[in-house]
Amino acid sequence: MSKSRRSPALALLAVLPTALWLSATGRAGDLALGEYLSAECVTCHQISGRQVAGIPAIIGLPEDAFVAMMESYRRRERENQVMQAMAVRLSSEEVAALATYFGSLKPRE
């Protein structure tokens, strides 16, 4: 188990580009890419933020929380066949872009 643990220095190297990007733009992901990829998601998730038929709202979430949820589907820690299938197909960059795009949306009536 401890074999897979990365050294703090390596972990820092891994987050550094993201941190620099964040400080430069205030956003972790590519907003335009996120909007493009969201087309598939909004066939189920309401862009208005309404929860419909047991499908949760996913807009206005903190980006790190959104990414963590997608990660838990990808690692199959969270059960849901549809979302697991969605999450495994997406790269980390795409998930970050989706997190930025959906996170930027505000609930509306």
Interacting residues with ligand HEC (CB under 6 A):
40-41, 43-45, 55-56, 58, 66, 69-70, 78, 80, 82-83, 86, 98
- Which CB, 20 or 88, lies closer to ligand HEC? 88
Q: Which two tokens stand for residue 44?
A: 């189920």
- Which CB, 56 or 62, lies closer to ligand HEC? 56
Nearest to 63 by CA among 89, 97, 86, 91: 97
- Which CB, 13 or 92, lies closer to ligand HEC? 92
- Which CB, 22 or 44, lies closer to ligand HEC? 44
Please tell me the distance from the alpha carbon of residue 101 to that of residue 98, in angstroms, as a whole number: 5
Please tell me the distance from the alpha carbon of residue 74 to that of residue 52, in angstroms, as a whole number: 23
Q: Residue 39 Cβ, how far from ligand HEC at the closest point, in Å? A: 9
Q: Residue 87 Cβ, how far from ligand HEC at the closest point, in Å? A: 8
Q: With b meaning 16 or more CB within 10 Å and e meaning fewer, what string describes 67-98?
A: bebbebbbeeeeeeeebbebbeebeeebbbbb
Q: Residue 53 Cβ, how far from ligand HEC at the closest point, in Å? A: 8
